[in-house]
């Protein structure tokens, strides 16, 4: 299992969700966060609402998937989020040792999807 964390532009969220649903990735956590990349928030102010100093509003996605869903999830995020401009975002893929569905007690690959 992997935990895929992606930081994207807020205005790409609906596009990313659409691409994820096409790939049958239906479980997702979305947070509003602040951040900046290597431009330190300077050159993409036109794309995003500036919060404080050089921190810009971003969307953080967390998607936990079985290994056979990793590639399609990454591709869907890229398809939905990419414009070719700086600040399009980043994807982090982490190993995920455990997942538990609280209601049923299922664990691991049975619980994740």
Contacts to Mg ion by CB under 5 A = 37, 39, 86-87
- At residue 102, φ and ψ (nearest 5 deg) are -60, -40
Please state, in angstroms and rounded to a whole number, the distance separating the CA atoms of residues 44 and 62. 23
Element (H, E) at 61: strand 55-65
Please state, in angstroms and rounded to a whole number, the distance separating the CA atoms of residues 5 and 74. 10
Minimal distance in Å, beta carbon 89 to Mg ion?
9
Minimal distance in Å, beta carbon 108 to Mg ion?
36
Report if residue 35 touches ligand ATP, rule: CB under 6 A.
yes
Minimal distance in Å, beta carbon 81 to ligand ATP?
9
| Span from 17-25, 71-79, 83-91, 96-104 in contact with ligand ATP (CB under 6 A) | 83-91
Report if residue 80 touches ligand ATP, rule: CB under 6 A.
no
- The CA angle 12-42-28, to the nearest 5 degrees, is 25
Report if residue 86 touches ligand ATP, rule: CB under 6 A.
yes
Nearer to ligand ATP, 26 or 39 (CB): 39
Distances (CA, A) of 90 to 9, 38, 110: 10, 11, 28
In the complex, which residues of this chain contact ligand ATP (CB under 6 A)?
7, 35-39, 58, 86-90
């Amino acid at each position: 299992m992997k935990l895929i964390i992606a930081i994207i532009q807020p205005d790409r969220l609906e596009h990313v969700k659409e691409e994820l649903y096409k790939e049958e990735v239906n479980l997702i956590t979305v947070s509003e966060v602040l951040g900046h990349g290597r431009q330190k928030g300077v050159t993409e102010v036109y794309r995003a609402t500036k919060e404080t100093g050089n921190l810009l509003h971003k969307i953080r996605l967390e998607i936990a998937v079985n290994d056979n869903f990793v590639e399609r999830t990454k591709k869907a995020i890229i398809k939905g989020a990419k414009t070719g401009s700086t600040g399009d975002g980043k994807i982090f893929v982490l190993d995920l040792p455990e997942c538990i569905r609280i209601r049923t007690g299922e664990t691991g690959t049975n619980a994740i999807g």
